[in-house]
Amino acid sequence: MTVLGIETSCDETSVSIIKDDKLLSNLISSQDFHVKYGGVVPELSSRAHLQMIEPLVKQSLDEAGLKKEELDVVAATAGPGLIGALLVGLNFGKALSYSLNIPFVSVNHIEGHIFSGFLMEDKPEFPYLCLVVSGGHTLLLLVEDDLHIKKLGTTIDDAAGEAFDKVAKMIGLGYPGGPKIQAYADNGNPDAIKFPIAQLKTKYDFSFSGLKTAVLRHIQKEFGDSSKIPEDAKPDLAASFQEAVVKALTNNVKKAIDKYEVEVHSISVVGGVAANQAIRKSISAIAQNRSIKFVVPEFQFCGDNAAMIAYRAQKLYENGIISDLSANAYPSLPKDIFI
Ligand code: KG4
Ligand code: ZN
């Protein structure tokens, strides 16, 4: 079976083709021009997707050595994401499937991330504990099989990636914040400043807004404002903030493993923030301690990519789940998606 997947939920236009579980192409065009605005400008994002989508579909077919008539399924991200951006990929996908008279599968972006570990050679084994850390979501999940996901915890305010992006802005490191914080943190001392880690009543939930405020207060107290932070103070700030995020994430993963160790066969960290080396290292150490398999996607599958959408669509299709052409785009996570 050959699936073409399309992803346009934010600032990456991506097209991928998977044939019988084999990845034939995964093209990702990142909209780097948002850097000068300090964040993604939705209208510009939609326009750039419109320009890129058709050439990327053609290039992906060329790279896979296929004609469009050889496709069996077309899939596209339906949400969550920027509504105008989503509509570009979703409508292109629907039109392509209609013109080829083949099934269309709409895919939830977060489900794409959750199963992205399966794009690796060494795959997660069900049931697995999954930490989703992206720009818009922070979720701790028990993934029982292809169709059953139990939500253990989520963020009650900011997502982990959002915190990275906002704190990077405060420190004056620019956008996108995650990679910038990591680069500065590499030269800083993670124990230089003790930032708070939220203690919530709910066992597996996360909160990052207090941490964000603590960084702001520290900057105000020590330097007056962001523009006055000396260059040589930035690495310690970045490293200490990153350390607090790592601790917040690992605390909950440890708690969940204490409870579910007997049944859990793997631990997987996914989403854009899973590219962070300190996070990969600390969650991997937890898994190693308990002799549980650890799976983190390689970098091209951590950030937004269509390979995870094509993979998820293939699984949905195999389970008899296809969409009709009235499938809608949606901007945020539907409440009833997880058990
Ligand atoms: O999954 P993703 O590409 O898009 C969403 O679905 O949101 O995640 C993007 C997020 C951004 O907040 C970005 O700053 C963060 O992932 N990110 C990182 C790193 N690389 C990307 N955060 C921390 N460390 C990184 N190395
Ligand atoms: Zn994403």
pLDDT of the chain, 339 residues: tens digit per residue: 999 999 999 999 999 999 999 999 999 999 999 988 988 999 999 999 999 999 999 999 999 999 999 999 999 999 999 999 999 999 999 999 999 999 999 999 999 999 999 999 999 999 999 999 999 999 999 999 999 999 999 999 999 999 999 999 999 998 889 999 999 999 999 999 999 999 898 999 999 999 999 999 999 999 999 999 999 999 999 999 999 999 999 999 999 999 998 899 999 999 999 999 999 999 999 999 999 999 999 999 999 999 999 999 999 999 999 998 999 999 988 876 777
Ligand 1, atom 23, residue with closest C-alpha:
178
Task: Tell me whether the omega of the peptide bond preceding residue 80 falls within 30 degrees of 0, making it cis.
Answer: yes
CB-based burial, 100-123: b 16+ in 10 Å, e otherwise: bebbbbbbbbbbbbbbbbbbeeee
Ligand 1, atom 8, residue with closest C-alpha:
272
* DSSP states along 243-271: HHHHHHHHHHHHHHHHHHTTT--EEEEES
Q: What is the rounded CA–CA span in Å between residue 97 and residue 102?
A: 5
pLDDT in the model for residue 335: 72
Q: What CA–CA distances, in Å, run from 172 to 158, 224, 260, 277?
A: 19, 14, 41, 21
User: Residue 232 C-alpha to ligand 1 middle, in angstroms?
Assistant: 25
User: Residue 131 C-alpha to ligand 2 middle, in angstroms?
Assistant: 13
Ligand 1, atom 16, residue with closest C-alpha:
272
Q: How far is CA 235 from the centre of its chain?
A: 25
Q: What is the rounded CA–CA span in Å between residue 280 and residue 189?
A: 18
Task: Tell me whether the omega of the peptide bond preceding residue 127 falls within 30 degrees of 0, making it cis.
Answer: yes
pLDDT in the model for residue 112: 98
User: Residue 272 C-alpha to ligand 2 middle, in angstroms?
Assistant: 6
Residue 54 CA neighbour count, 13 Å, CB half = 4
| 209-223 vs 234-260: helix crossing angle, rounded to 10 | 160
Q: N- to C-terminal Cα distance for the chain?
A: 29
pLDDT in the model for residue 109: 97
Task: Tell me whether the omega of the peptide bond preceding residue 334 falls within 30 degrees of 0, making it cis.
Answer: no
Ligand 1, atom 19, residue with closest C-alpha:
178
Q: How far is CA 68 from the centre of its chain?
A: 29
User: Do 311 and 84 form a contact (C-beta atoms < 8 A)?
Assistant: no
User: Do 187 and 233 form a contact (C-beta atoms < 8 A)?
Assistant: no
CB-based burial, 292-326: b 16+ in 10 Å, e otherwise: bbbbbbeeebbbbbbbbbbbbbbbbbeeeebbeee
What amino acid occupies position 46?
A: S
Atom of ligand 1 nearest to the CA of 109: 6
Q: What is the rounded CA–CA span in Å between residue 315 and residue 1?
A: 11
Enumerate residues with CB within 5 Å of ligand 2 (an ion). 134, 304
pLDDT in the model for residue 264: 97
Q: Could you give phi then psi for residue 131, rounded to 5 degrees? A: -100, 115
Strand partners, 7: 14
- Domain architecture of the chain: domains with CATH: 2-115+301-318 (3.30.420.40), 123-296 (3.30.420.40)
Ligand with minimal distance to 296 CA? 1
Query: Pocket of ligand 1, candidates 8, 108, 273, 279: which has the most ligand atoms within 8 Å of its Cβ, to mutate?
Result: 273
pLDDT in the model for residue 339: 73
User: Do 156 and 207 form a contact (C-beta atoms < 8 A)?
Assistant: yes
List all residues whose CB is within 6 A of at least one atom of ligand 1.
10, 134-136, 161, 164-165, 176-179, 182, 271-273, 275-276, 303-304
CB-based burial, 7-22: b 16+ in 10 Å, e otherwise: bbbbbbbbbbbbbeee
